Structure 1
Amino acid sequence: MTSGPVTDWLLDSDPALRWQVERDLLDAAPEVWEATRTRIATDGFGARLLAVQDADGQWAGGSFFPKDYDYADAEPSEAGQPWTATTWTLNTLREWGLDVSVLRERWTAELLEEHSRWDYDGSPYWSGEVDCCINAWTLANGVWLGADVNGIADWFLEHQLTDGGWNCEWVDGSRRSSFHSTLNSLKGLLAFDAATGGTSDTRAARRSGEEYLLERHLLHRLTTNQPVGRWINDFIYPMRWSYSALNACEYFRLAALHDGTLPDPRISEAIGIVRAARRPDGRWLQTGRQPGRVWFEVDVPAGQPSKWLTLYGTRLLTWWDSAR
């Protein structure tokens, strides 16, 4: 992709976004995008998140929720899941591409092992929890930081459902997989496989989870072929836990690049949804953001052109069109 109005607009952004534009859309030389990527730790969004890390390695004093957070006392503008605690912040820094050596020099993994405990049952941070999505993020963050999270990888093998996917509500008796839970679980396993080479079992589990979504073309109920939910059309950044056609296709892009495979044709309908959402000027709009406390805003309000979503959408369609 050559420079133009959209890419020039995207380049005028925080280093966390700009380096990805340089690498993935403009095919810049490594020394160019690597220099921009280095700035994440010292300039802009990344530096701001690093500045609020607690001395004990956590953020906001908690593993998944801020310390002493009370929904009843939250301001109306902060109603809903708070996004400031340790897991969410690590997710963000990892997805932005922060050089992990910055956190390793702070002994983040070791500090979390010593000080951070899960809200659910008080278990040590790197042992994981009972929620598939939380465990997926902890698995991805753990291999990134160099923590021993092999036990969490094994947990996914033990809790994969018979239909091939996962469901965070398994603990309440659910035996049918969830699109949201399966996608997030797959992301965690892909991060584990990419960082460690995985095992034959984790790779097989990932294939089964992918097949769960592919059989449904990423969009439909298997029994009725009806859309699984209106949220497949909700393009939101930050994506966090939410499932959409864009988020699911982005996973399959990354998985195909890791595995060295061509795009599976069964994602073509979901690709069509992403393509249809592109505005005539080449941009994608923010359709709405999840409510809840944040450290600071990193994207635009609903209805406005989003640089983050435009990066994701443009990169996805470029990969799809060139691969096919």
Structure 2
Amino acid sequence: MTGEVIDWLLDSDPALRWQVERDLAGAPEAVWAATRASVVSEGFGARLISHQDPDGQWAGGAFFPAGFDFSRVPHEGQPWTATTWSLNALREWGADSHALAGTAEKLARNARWEYDDRPYWNGEVDCCINSWTLSNGLWLGADVDALATWFPEHQQADGGWNCEWVEGATRSSFHSTLNALKGLLDHERARNETGRVRGARRRGEEYLLRRRLSRRLSTGEIVGPWVAHLAYPFFWRYSVLNAADYFRAASIHDGAAPDPRLGPAIELIRNARQPDGTWLQAGRPAGEVWFEVDAPAGEPSRWVTFYALRVLRWWEVEHRDEPAA
């Protein structure tokens, strides 16, 4: 069954196929690297690059399309076509930054955040936005190191982050904390950071681990049905799959075994597996996209299946396949 599922995953866009070749199929580096190189010239990656504006942006805006009517959000959802979302996708798909040569400089000249008209690479007040800007800047070669130091300065007392801190929030958010952690890990990998920024990452990880990635610290109850909403693209949304994939990456970077407190999250992922060995698409968040990259809600999802198999393989290989606490 697993072999059939992997064959199904390999029959996919280069943005996914190279990751399946590397992480599940055991292909030689020459094979998956060649597939990865094609991301910018074929399929999803090439299509998304073709939508880039001459000034370096996508849809004419930093976080929202130019001229967007914000009254549409409650009815139509967040649009996913602007610059930050497009860069996030290309980076996560493994696109070679050389295909976007000059983009960092163009964005420095032309892109401003919708909030307070701030320069693009200076970041914003939202910790999720700052994390994505940090990761994208590192990828494209922009000067974003100052953003890494922003996170320890805005970390909540409980160890996490909340994008609504500027509105007075003092308790952390699962969503915000996970997004912040991703940027900090990218910075640490790029800069070999071992000081204050790493300390902030470790505290943020502990915030999620103490809650078993899914539970209230006070009662032990599941924080909400959204933790088991396994959907791709992730965008800004938290799920146990999104979080477990982060902890896989952090564990590999740190050379550490998986933390046993991940067990309940791993069980939620495992229990969502279908009899045919796939995972279903729970449904991406509403909102305009350039094009669809995965199955509709309720159908087998190549992306969700890939992430779930990769997480489970890592967990099981590390000999932590134990009953959930």
- TM-score (norm: length of structure 1): 0.96
Secondary structure at the residue paired with 2:233?
coil
Secondary structure at the residue paired with 1:55?
coil
Task: Give yes or no for the alignment of 1:93 onto 2:86.
Answer: no
Unaligned runs of 5+ in 1: none
Aligned to 2:323: none
Q: Say which is worse superposed, 191-200 or 20-29, in terms of deviation.
A: 191-200
Residues 228-285 of structure 1: CA distance to partner in whole angstroms, max 9, x if unpaired?
Answer: 1110110010011111111110110000011111000000110000000011111000
Secondary structure at the residue paired with 2:164?
helix
Residues 171-230 of structure 1: CA distance to partner in whole angstroms, max 9, x if unpaired?
Answer: 011111111100000001001111111240000000000001111111111112111111
Aligned to 1:264: 259
Aligned to 1:170: 165
Moved >3 Å (runs of 4+): 71-76
Does the 8 Å CA contact 1:7/1:21 hold for their aligned counterparts?
A: yes
Aligned to 1:22: 21
Does the 8 Å CA contact 1:71/1:80 hold for their aligned counterparts?
A: no
Q: How many residues align?
A: 319
Aligned to 2:121: 126
Aligned to 1:70: 69
Aligned to 1:247: 242
Aligned to 2:200: 205
* In structure 2, C-alpha distance between the alignment counterparts of 1:296 and 1:287, rounded to whole Å: 18
CA offset at residue 72 of structure 1? 4.4
* In structure 2, C-alpha distance between the alignment counterparts of 1:97 and 1:179, rounded to whole Å: 26
CA offset at residue 293 of structure 1? 0.6
Q: Choose the corresponding residue for 2:148, options 126, 150, 153.
A: 153
CA offset at residue 100 of structure 1? 1.3
Q: Choose the corresponding residue for 1:278, options 249, 258, 273.
A: 273
Letter of the 1:5 counterpart:
E
After superposition, the Cα gap between the structure-2 partners of 1:74 and 1:221, relative to the gap in structure 1 and judged at 3 Å, is closer
- TM-score (norm: length of structure 2): 0.96
Aligned to 2:322: none
CA offset at residue 7 of structure 1? 0.9
* In structure 2, C-alpha distance between the alignment counterparts of 1:207 and 1:289, rounded to whole Å: 30
Aligned to 1:37: 36
Secondary structure at the residue paired with 2:169?
coil
After superposition, the Cα gap between the structure-2 partners of 1:108 and 1:314, relative to the gap in structure 1 and judged at 3 Å, is same
Root mean square deviation of aligned Cα? 1.4
CA offset at residue 74 of structure 1? 8.1
CA offset at residue 71 of structure 1? 3.9
Residues 75-121 of structure 1: CA distance to partner in whole angstroms, max 9, x if unpaired?
Answer: 97xx1100000000000000000011111x2x010110110000011
Residues 54-85 of structure 1: CA distance to partner in whole angstroms, max 9, x if unpaired?
Answer: 11111000000000011446897xx1100000
CA offset at residue 3 of structure 1? 7.3
Provide the identity percentage.
Answer: 61
Task: Give yes or no for the alignment of 1:139 onto 2:138.
Answer: no
Q: Choose the corresponding residue for 2:79, options 75, 79, 82.
A: 82
Aligned to 2:99: 102
